[in-house]
A and B are shown apart, each in its own frame.
Chain A
Amino acid sequence: MAAKQVSAIIRLVVNAGQAKPAPPVGPALGQHRLNLMAFCKDFNARTQSIKSDVPMSVMVTAYKDNSFDFVVKSPSTSYFLKKAAGLQSGGGNPGHKVAGFVTPKHVYEIAKIKQADPDCQYMPLESICKSIMGTARSMGIEVRGELP
């Protein structure tokens, strides 16, 4: 594949299997004159194996000729943590007030999913766990319990 000139890098979150030309996809990609329908069809097809309405992280590379490529990553760590802790949103006062808690087993399970990501494949599980615990701390979520 010949290298193409990049015009922009776009980062957004879209629910698996549910890309539509409406916001957030519409303005985010339409602004850069990318083919919305093609993205929606492509993204939805590629996320068929994931439960719908799980928010996926997407990074779109837009080229000067209005074509594009994109990479889909698993949901953000904060999404998993919120689900595990049963929270709607992260804590407003991290470091001072505890908004919720998760167990080390949660952290381990999330780390395993994250390890499949293109980013994290070279990272040892322990490093990923530490990074998840850091995110938890910044959200006001405490990790409680014994490490198995």
Chain B
Amino acid sequence: MEALLCFGAASCSIEDTNLGAPKEQEIYSDGPIPWQSGKRQLWKESTITALFAAGDDVGEALAMAANSVGLKEMPLYEVEELEDCDWVLEVESQFKPVEVSQGLWIVPKWSQPPDAKALNVIIDPGLAFGTGEHPTTRLCLQWLHHVVSPGDKILDYGTGSGILSIAALKMGAAHAVGVDIDPVAISSAEYNASLNNLKPDTLQVYVAPADGDDPVPKEFTDFDVVAANILLNPLVELVGRITGYCKPGGLVGVSGILVEQVPQVKEAYSKYLEGIAVSYDNGWACVSGRKKRFVQTTAETTDSQELHS
């Protein structure tokens, strides 16, 4: 497989040739298969499937790869052209309704809500992130379920499918603003808002420009609740901006971070937030806190702030 990758394959996978047939061999693994070939258990007969970009000379790549690993003759192979297809849609059929918090369900648009009386958020994710299945989405939704009060103004930084904003609006928030670097998120979030019978303009979504300029229009400030489910690096780089959107005394929750990344996030955010709490789910974490009323910039004053709060 390594040889194939060197000679131009975009990716390779290996599986039992006899998949589905009576001769199928079962192998089990406790965790990821180790890299070293010595320790790796493989099937007696394996099929390697390699994906190449359209237009690549598969025969030549295969010949060079076989040669480089010392195979005396070319292995049997067939070339099949794959249609361009929406792989996310293919996988989506696995997406089922899920109860992320007591009485809060995320339901794919093609399913019926299992409990019609519960708070149901209908989602069609497409290529944007946020089906409710990921631990970070769950953590944020559970946090929102605890903190959102009727009439709140929400900011969802890294909105993806809009799932957090829409859930918050259904929990009684008055207005939500969503931001994402991916334009697909914009259309996905707006579409999902319409699936949930929300009045237009209750959710407004903006693209964050590549040059790093502030994506949120100036008319929106002093949010009651700010949620940011993205990744460690942007969370730490943008800590000033993300907490800046929040009104003093308002609540900020961030996720998309692994448990081992929590100390870094806490360090960055403790300058702006007090009463920091961390929740965990399956190796992922959500850090939340209340925006300090006065943010001191000198180190000594911040320390005494923390002592008094």
Contact count band on B: 35 or more
Contact B11 A38 (CB under 8 A): no
Residue in chain A with minimal CB distance to B1: A11
B238 → chain A, closest Cβ, in Å?
14
Q: Is B5 an interface residue (CB 8 A)?
A: yes
Contact partners of A15 in chain B: CB under 8 A: none
Which listed residue, A10, A12, A17, A29, touches B233 by the CB 8 Å rule? Answer: A17
Q: Is B299 an interface residue (CB 8 A)?
A: no
Residue in chain A with minimal CB distance to B28: A3
Q: Is B277 an interface residue (CB 8 A)?
A: no
Take A21-B127, A24-B51, A27-B51 as given contacts and tell me if A9 and B14 are in contact as well, using a CB distance cutoff of 8 Å: yes
Take A17-B231, A28-B11, A119-B36 as given contacts and tell me if A37 and B29 are in contact as well, using a CB distance cutoff of 8 Å: no
Contact partners of A5 in chain B: CB under 8 A: 26-28
Contact B134 A38 (CB under 8 A): yes
Contact A48 B231 (CB under 8 A): yes
Q: Is A116 an interface residue (CB 8 A)?
A: no
- Cα(A29)–Cα(B87), bound, Å: 8
Contact A118 B35 (CB under 8 A): yes
Q: Is B143 an interface residue (CB 8 A)?
A: no
Residue in chain A with minimal CB distance to B27: A6
Q: How many residues of A contact B (CB 8 A)?
A: 52
**Which one of A68-76, A104-112, A125-133 is at the interface?**
A68-76
Decide if the interface of chain A is mainly helix, strand, loop or mixed. Answer: mixed
Q: Is A88 an interface residue (CB 8 A)?
A: no
- What sequence of 0s and 1s flags, for each residue 15-39 of chain B, a beta carbon within 8 Å of any chain A beta carbon? 1000100000011111111111000
Which listed residue, A1, A11, A33, touches B31 by the CB 8 Å rule? Answer: A1
Contact partners of B125 in chain A: CB under 8 A: 37
Count of A-B residue pairs with CB < 8 Å: 140
- Cα(A36)–Cα(B87), bound, Å: 8
- Cα(A78)–Cα(B6), bound, Å: 8
Q: Is B91 an interface residue (CB 8 A)?
A: yes
Contact A59 B90 (CB under 8 A): no
Contact partners of B35 in chain A: CB under 8 A: 59, 71, 73, 117-119
Q: Is B309 an interface residue (CB 8 A)?
A: no
B256 → chain A, closest Cβ, in Å?
6
Contact B233 A48 (CB under 8 A): yes
Residue in chain B with minimal CB distance to A29: B87
Binding site for A on B (CB under 8 A): 1-2, 5-6, 10-15, 19, 26-36, 40, 42, 49, 51, 53, 68, 82, 87-88, 90-91, 94, 125, 127, 129-131, 133-134, 136, 231-233, 256-258, 261, 284
25 A-B contacts (beta carbon < 8 Å): A1-B30, A3-B30, A5-B26, A6-B28, A6-B29, A7-B15, A12-B12, A17-B231, A21-B88, A21-B127, A27-B87, A28-B51, A31-B13, A33-B90, A35-B133, A36-B87, A38-B134, A41-B256, A44-B231, A46-B258, A48-B232, A59-B32, A61-B31, A70-B32, A117-B35
